[in-house]
């Protein structure tokens, strides 16, 4: 008889609809995250449907908005400090940025160094950095004439989209693509990548994934069946997944 996986609480930060959050909630419910559990969902935007998704799943959901009366740098630090205080109350082992638009600064980056991951809608290091999010990323990819795009799960550091890469998933850029059609194709892969990214982070942190079921990409995120590749930082990361893509839209 298998021992029950230890509970590994983590927090999710999100600004919008929360489809990547939903992918994590679904993976938790189906057992694909092993003992990992969403302990807290925080949004920095009022009206974000992600908060409703969290409540429907029985998760603690908090709205922590930036104080717009403060200067930008002070505002970011204040928001980050309030988020840190909320996350620490749950004893979360790590933090997942699942479409979170605010920039984290200050002690949260030190307290959770190497324990914050972000999903970005391009193949970093291309099309990352300040101001590169949402539609702007996909428009830049199309204007550059790229043949492929995709998404990246990476560790958050002091920079913007500069941390070590955990994994990437690719999609082709098709003739006639618009920012919206490309985004739709990438979203599908983001939902797989964010689950695999959590499992890979757990593996790297040595927290254990005992009891985890295979992910949709066919692994438990450990990279055991993958040949290591070098990311932009020169460190090893799981090989880029290249799913079969058709022209059919969901």
Nearest to 194 by CA among 60, 114, 96: 96
Look up residue 213 and give its DSSP letter: P
Token match 């029950």: residue?
4
Q: Find out whether 153 and 165 touch, Cβ atoms under 8 Å.
A: yes
> H-helix or E-strand containing 245?
none
d(CA 82, CA 106): 11
Residues with Cβ within 8 Å of residue 96, at least 6 apart in sequence: 10, 11, 12, 13, 24, 116, 117, 118, 194, 197, 198
Tell me the helix, strand and coil percentages in the chain, rounded to 5: 30, 20, 50
Given the residues 120, 138, 154, 241, select the one marked as catalytic. Answer: 120
Is the CB of residue 131 less than 8 Å from the CB of residue 139? no
State yes or no: is 138 an active-site residue: no
Classify residue 9 as exposed, middle or buried by CB count within 10 Å of its CB (0-12, 13-18, 19+): middle
Q: Of 151, 130, 158, 146, which Cα lies nearest the Cα of 19? A: 151
Catalytic residues: 120
């Amino acid at each position: 008889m298998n021992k029950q996986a230890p509970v590994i609480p983590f927090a999710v930060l999100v600004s919008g609809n929360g489809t990547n959050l939903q992918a994590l909630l679904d993976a938790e419910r189906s057992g694909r995250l092993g003992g990992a559990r969403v302990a807290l969902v925080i949004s920095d935007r009022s009206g974000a449907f992600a908060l409703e998704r969290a409540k429907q799943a029985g998760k603690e959901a908090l709205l922590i908005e930036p104080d717009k009366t403060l200067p930008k740098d002070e505002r970011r630090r204040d928001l980050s400090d309030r988020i840190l205080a909320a996350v620490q109350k749950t004893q979360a082992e790590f933090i997942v940025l699942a479409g979170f638009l605010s920039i984290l600064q200050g002690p949260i980056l030190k307290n959770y160094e190497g324990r914050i991951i972000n999903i970005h809608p391009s193949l970093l290091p291309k099309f990352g950095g300040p101001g590169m999010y949402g539609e702007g990323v996909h428009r830049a990819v199309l204007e550059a004439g790229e043949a492929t795009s995709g998404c990246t799960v990476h560790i958050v550091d002091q920079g913007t989209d500069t941390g070590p890469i955990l994994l990437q998933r690719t999609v082709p850029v098709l003739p006639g693509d618009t920012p919206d059609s490309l985004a739709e194709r990438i979203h599908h892969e983001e939902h797989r990548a964010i689950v695999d990214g959590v499992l890979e982070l757990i593996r790297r942190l040595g927290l254990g994934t005992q009891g985890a079921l295979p992910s949709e990409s066919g692994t438990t995120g450990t990279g055991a069946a993958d040949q290591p590749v070098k990311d932009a930082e020169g460190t090893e990361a799981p090989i880029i997944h290249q799913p079969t893509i058709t022209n059919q839209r969901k």
